[in-house]
Chains A and B, each alone.
Chain A
């Protein structure tokens, strides 16, 4: 069973919210990954929807590229929506 591939698990905790990464698990295929995800990650009523994705199918940014990727955004405070007042009626922005 050590040759079972790794899967990343994403759970949506309630309608209207996005799926959120909660962890990973081993399973031989997608169907079982789904069942295992249900058993491992939704035991305490955490979810209304589950996604499983093979970890090997995820393309991740490299930690070595941290500076060129993220540093430039650091010095651009004007990109944050903090320079104007939000009307009261606008929620969850």
Chain B
């Protein structure tokens, strides 16, 4: 399996989604709207960080050039990150954060169910473990969408606009490029395109309960999984990677 470039890239995509979203969520640490929520959202951040470590460690092993999870997380440039554009979007207000989380969790939950059946035992194992955590993440973010949508007039307007704004970043999650096709053919990866229908079903069901509208835009932003990111990723990495950049190899 040494130097399997396709598998390496694929693992970066899985790992970077978790890593970047985890970093975003951890920005709430100490700033949550209430202490209970502060703890809850950073719990999710920690779950995702744990998942990122599994994916990136495995990626490093597959690459076979001696890079470990830390080097992959802290010493890559923005253009080398393979996360979807959705997860790098800024936190905004709490509704924005929950809208982003909801779109992602709903996809993540479905994707992990498929990856749990991967022919690659390591991927199947990581996905199975992560799925338990993500089941709870999805329950939580779904609950928040309903509460904010079916809440006050103010919360309804703000969650609707958050869901509308992030909609353009959801299409990329279901995109199948040549790498995805190759991994699917090898029995390692998932058919992300096939997840769109069940994803939309969950979104529609939740939105109807939340009394918000499903955004109708068809045009979608894309590029994250090929390394073409929004400018926001650079700022995120500057903060996340600062210590290892300023003091290479620092440990404590």
Distance between Cα atoms of A31 and B34 in the complex (Å): 16
Closest to A2 in B: B34
Chain B residues near A (Cβ < 8 Å):
33-34, 36-37, 39-40, 43, 139-140, 143, 147
Distance between Cα atoms of A45 and B37 in the complex (Å): 19
Complex partner residue of B143 from A1, A4, A32, CB under 8 angstroms: A32
A27 near B43 with CB under 8 A, answer: no
A10-18, A33-41, A61-69, A80-88: which lies at the interface: A33-41
Complex partner residue of A39 from B33, B36, B143, B147, CB under 8 angstroms: B36
Distance between Cα atoms of A25 and B143 in the complex (Å): 18
Contacts A31-B143, A32-B143 given; indicate if A4 touches B34 (C-beta within 8 A): yes
Given the complex, which residues of A lie within 8 Å of B33, measured CB to CB? 1
**Is A79 engaged at the interface, CB distance under 8 Å to the other chain?**
no
Main secondary structure of the interface of B (DSSP, over half): helix
Distance between Cα atoms of A40 and B143 in the complex (Å): 17
Given the complex, which residues of B lie within 8 Å of A28, measured CB to CB? 147
**Is A54 engaged at the interface, CB distance under 8 Å to the other chain?**
no
A25 near B36 with CB under 8 A, answer: yes
A35 near B34 with CB under 8 A, answer: no
Complex partner residue of B43 from A1, A26, A39, CB under 8 angstroms: A39
Distance between Cα atoms of A53 and B208 in the complex (Å): 30
Given the complex, which residues of A lie within 8 Å of B43, measured CB to CB? 39, 43
Distance between Cα atoms of A26 and B39 in the complex (Å): 13
Given the complex, which residues of B lie within 8 Å of A40, measured CB to CB? 36, 39-40
Distance between Cα atoms of A35 and B37 in the complex (Å): 10
Q: Would you mind naming 11 contact pairs between A and B with Cβ atoms under 8 Å apart? A: A1-B34, A25-B36, A27-B36, A28-B147, A35-B139, A36-B37, A36-B40, A39-B39, A40-B40, A43-B39, A43-B43
Given the complex, which residues of B lie within 8 Å of A32, measured CB to CB? 143, 147
